[in-house]
Amino acid sequence: MRRAIATGCALLAGLVIAGCSSSGGTQAGGFDPRDFSGTWERYPTPTDAERDPSTVAPSGPVGLAGIPAPPLKPEYKAEWEAERRRHDEANAAGRPIATHYTHCIPDGMPAMMMAMFPMEVLITPRQVTIIQEAYNQVRRIYLDDTLPPVEDAEPGFWGHSVGHWEGNDFVVETIGIKDYVRFRDTPHSANMRIHERMRMIDADHFENEVTVVDPEYLTEPWKWKWTYQRKPGYKMYEYVCEDNREYADPVTGEARLRIDTE
C-alpha cells in the first residue's frame, strides 16, 4: 500500500501524502495538514451558534451572526431588505412563507457548506467529494480539470468546482450557480464566482474562508469564514425531504405542517 501511494504521488497532487512532499506530511501534532477526509460538523454546532452568537470558534465568530450582510449595490439591497422584512413579519405573525426548504429544493452553493447537518469529505486522486446529509447533496471538486468559460458552464445547484493546493491550503473556485439558488436570499449574476480556501487548524478542526465575487451585484467581495470539527464514528443518515411533514399552501403559499389525522 505504501509503495502504491509513493508511486502515485504526482497524480494525487498532495492529497494523500506519505512523505511525498515536504510541504505536507505529518505535523508536530500528529496530523496530515492536507488530509481533511472524514465526517464533519460545523463548530460550534448550529444550535450553539444560534443560542449564543458570541460563541467563538478557533478561527473567529461563526453561525449566521458571523456572516455579514451581502454588500449589494443599492438597487439590489433595497429589494433584499424588503424580502427579509417580509419573511420576518410573516414569521412574527406565525404564518411563515414557504421557502425552498419547504419545497425540498436543496441548498446549493455556498449554503451547503454551512453544514447545518453533518457532511462527509471523500478524497480520491482526481476529485474531492463533499456529501451533505441535508437533502443528500453531493458536491464534486475536480483536481485535474480547469474551469470552463462561464457561458459554457451548465448552471446547477453546486456549480462547477475545481481545486488545487497552495502549500497546505486547499483552494477552490466555483462557477455556474443557478440564478434562483440564493444564499440568504441574495440575488446574483451568472458571472458570480465563489472562492474557498480550506485549511486544517489542528487534527480535529478545519476552516473554510469563503469569498463571493460578483461585480454586477456586489459593491465588493462578500467574505466570511466557517469552521468545522470532526464527528468521529458518525454514520451519515438518509435525508429524504420529500418524505417530510411540511408543504406549501397552494393558495397562500404559506408553509404548513402536515398532520396525519387517521
Q: Residue 17 in 3-state DSSP?
A: coil
Task: Let me know whether 43 and 116 are in one domain.
Answer: yes
| Nearest alpha-carbon partner for 133 in 46, 44, 52 | 46
Q: pTM for this structure? A: 0.79
Confidence of residue 165 (pLDDT cuts 50, 70, 90): very high
The average pLDDT across 214-225 equals 97
Q: 13: domain range?
A: 1-34
160 inside domain: yes
Backbone angles phi, psi at 148, to 5 degrees: -75, 165
Same domain, 131 and 224: yes
Q: What is the count of structural domains for the chain?
A: 2
The answer to whether residues 72 and 174 belong to one domain is yes
Q: Can you tell me the distance from the alpha carbon of 234 to that of 160, in angstroms, rounded to the nearest whole number?
A: 28
- Same-domain pairing of 114 and 15: no
Chain segment 62-81, per-residue pLDDT in tens:
445 568 999 999 999 999 99
Domain membership of residue 24 (yes or no) is yes
Q: Does the residue 139 lie in any domain?
A: yes
Residues 145 and 183 in one domain: yes
Residues 20 and 115 in one domain: no
255 or 8: which carries more pLDDT confidence? 255
Indicate whether 180 and 219 sit together in one domain: yes
Does residue 110 share a domain with residue 24?
Answer: no
Instruction: Tell me if residue 114 falls in helix, strand or coil.
Output: helix
